[in-house]
Amino acid sequence: MTNNAPRSVEEYLRQLRAALAGQDSALMQDALYDAEEYLRAEIAAHPGKSEPDVLELIASTYGAPDEVAAAYRDTETKLNAALRTPRAPPRASMVGRFFSIFLDPRAYAGLLFMFFSLATGILYFTVTVTGLSLSAGLAILIIGVPFFLAFIGATRALALVECRLVESVSGVRMPRRPVHPGAPSGFWDRVKAMITDPRTWTTLAYDLLMLPLGIAYFVMAVVGVSVGLALLAAPVIEGLHALGVFSADSVFAYGVHPVHNGTVVDMNPAWLGTPGGLVLCGVIGILLLTATLHLARGVTKGHALLAKSMLVLP
């Protein structure tokens, strides 16, 4: 074994982390998990050998830290090239770039994410508040500490699911592996490690933050889509009404009609029922829907960066 060869699992992981410096944090988390899982399994499978001897054997099979890092970088490059969504041809004009959002599947995925973020936000918030409350209430009992460990484990599992969801809608690289728990240790050592791990508290903070964010995302998506579609549909419905397709009142007849001194006051502007007003409604509707898709894509990109900063191993 050479002088700079790792003589322990911790040293191997430190060298692997150093070899992956500058790479995506999600890639680093996956690589560290895979390496630690393999190293500890090999050490457990060779109880008659010392840890340095097992690591020397592993260097010829699994690879040295710099070789493993190079393999992960190469695999990541090929995988990204294979899974990258084909980009639409660039538009020369600003108007073309603005409306090309309708051809971007990420925009529609982001819009769905905003719609469902309220449900996921409620789920994460409920699990976190209930878990923290029960952990505090059961702390005086013998079951309190095991319950806390199970609760933290559940939140980390939810965080991994959230990472996969965020990556699927945003395209931002997120981890496919959790953080490895490390070498087998005693019960109280595990408790101490979870309490002192910053990711424990950033994950809980993220789960709590998802409720107000989910409400905001849901409201923006619902308002943008519903108002945009209503404005876009108004000229069509009004045209069908003019052609006698149905006999109901005009769509602009259902406004706010307060009564003042016994007289019904029509609050609808007169120009809304004119051809120019109908065209303007349609144009505003298209612009609002387009802007909503741009907003959805931007929101998911920004949310992915927030999730990576709070859920991924730094």
Picking from 101, 110, 112, 104, the residue whose alpha carbon sits closest to that of residue 290 is 101
Q: Please give the mean pLDDT across all residues of the chain.
A: 82
pLDDT band at 122 (very low <50, low <70, confident <90, very high): very high
13 or 270, which is more confident?
A: 13
34/198 Cα distance (integer angstroms): 22
Q: What is the phi/psi pair of residue 143, to 5°?
A: -80, -10
Instruction: Kindly list the domain boundaries of the chain, sorted by start residue.
Output: 1-84, 215-299
Report the alpha-carbon distance of residue 221 to residue 3 in Å, rounded.
59
Beta-carbon contacts of residue 218 (< 8 Å; ≥ 6 apart): 114, 115, 117, 118
User: What is the value of pTM for the model shown?
Assistant: 0.77
What gap in Å lies between CA 288 and CA 240, rounded to an integer?
A: 23
134 confidence band (pLDDT: 50, 70, 90): very high
More reliable by pLDDT, 276 or 8 = 8
Residues 151-199 have pLDDT tens digits of 998 998 899 899 999 998 988 888 888 877 776 667 677 778 778 888 8
The helix (H) or strand (E) run that includes residue 23 is none
pLDDT of 260 over the 70 cut? no
DSSP state letter for 42: H
Give yes or no for residue 141 having a pLDDT over 90. Answer: no
